[in-house]
């Protein structure tokens, strides 16, 4: 039976780098944030976002993602409303994706808010990627071209590393990418042994 491994970490922790590394080792990887972006462009979700947040967030049918981010990361209530629209659609999409990959013994599901959404209960094991706060802030500023204040708003809307680690089976410290990859190799070896014992 397929083991579903949840992979998470705060914004800027480098969890997507680790997800892509797992993929390079032959494991199917579902990157929830990427899929959510695509799903947010479907007519049903666009309709629900317009209804909840108003037409001004759209230029024609194109969602102004930066404007939406500005709203939801300043108000936890608004973030909840957005998640209530997007998460069920992502969950359904993942179910369909899983059916296509069920021949694989291990698959990885990567998501930033695995714990906050309650999705972690659906997985066999959880891996959390951590990184020093300053490294995370710098990575996100460079990647998303946003201010330090905006990065901190996003970080504060998520669980802390301590909270995530306390509920995780494995932790990958991403201070040095090569060391993080070695830790990933170790974890994968353990997962494969466990899977063979099943």
Residue 145, annotated as binding a ligand: no
Pairwise CA distance, residues 136 & 176, whole Å: 13
CATH number at residue 72: 3.40.50.300
Establish whether 78 is an annotated binding residue: no
Based on the structure, what is the number of domains in the chain? Answer: 1
Residue 130 structural domain: 3-193
Is 47 marked as binding a ligand? no
- Say whether 17 counts as a known binding-site residue: yes
What pLDDT digit, counting tens, does each position of 159-183 carry? 999 999 999 999 999 999 999 999 9
In angstroms and rounded to an integer, the radius of gyration of the C-alpha atoms of the chain is 17
Residue 133 domain-assigned?
A: yes
Helix (H) or strand (E) holding 142: helix 133-144
Please, are residues 120 and 6 in contact by the beta-carbon 8 Å criterion? yes
Write the secondary structure of 1-68 as one string of H (helix), E (strand) and C (coil).
Answer: CCEEEEEEECCCCCHHHHHHHHHHCCCCEEEHHHHHHHHCCCHHHHHHHHHHHCHHHEECCEECHHHH
SS3 75: coil
How confident is the model over 118-133, as pLDDT tens digits?
Answer: 889 999 999 999 999 9
Percent of the chain at pLDDT exceeding 70:
99
- The answer to whether residue 93 is domain-embedded is yes
Band of residue 142 on the pLDDT scale cut at 50, 70, 90 = very high
Residue 198 lies in a domain: no
Quick check: 42 and 121 in contact, CB under 8 A? no
183 in a labelled binding site: no
Residue 197: pLDDT above 80? no
12 is in an annotated binding site: yes
pTM: 0.91
Model pLDDT, residue 198: 65
């Amino acid at each position: 039976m397929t083991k579903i491994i949840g992979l998470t970490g705060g914004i800027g922790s480098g969890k997507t780098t680790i997800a892509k590394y797992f993929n390079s080792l032959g494991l199917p990887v579902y990157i929830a944030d990427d899929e959510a972006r695509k799903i947010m462009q479907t007519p049903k979700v666009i309709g629900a976002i317009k209804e909840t947040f108003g037409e001004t967030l759209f230029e024609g049918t194109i969602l102004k993602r930066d404007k939406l981010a500005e709203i939801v990361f300043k108000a936890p209530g608004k973030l909840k409303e957005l998640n209530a629209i997007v998460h069920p659609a992502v969950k359904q999409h993942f179910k369909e994706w899983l059916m296509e990959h069920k021949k694989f013994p291990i698959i990885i599901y990567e998501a930033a808010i695995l714990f906050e959404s309650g999705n972690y209960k659906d997985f066999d094991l959880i891996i959390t990627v951590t990184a020093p706060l300053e490294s995370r802030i710098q990575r996100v500023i460079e990647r998303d071209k946003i201010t330090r204040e905006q990065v901190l708003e996003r970080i504060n809307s998520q669980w802390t590393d301590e909270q995530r680690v306390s509920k995780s089976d494995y932790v990958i410290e991403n201070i040095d990418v090569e060391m993080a990859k070695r830790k990933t190799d170790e974890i994968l070896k353990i997962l494969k042994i466990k899977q063979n014992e099943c």
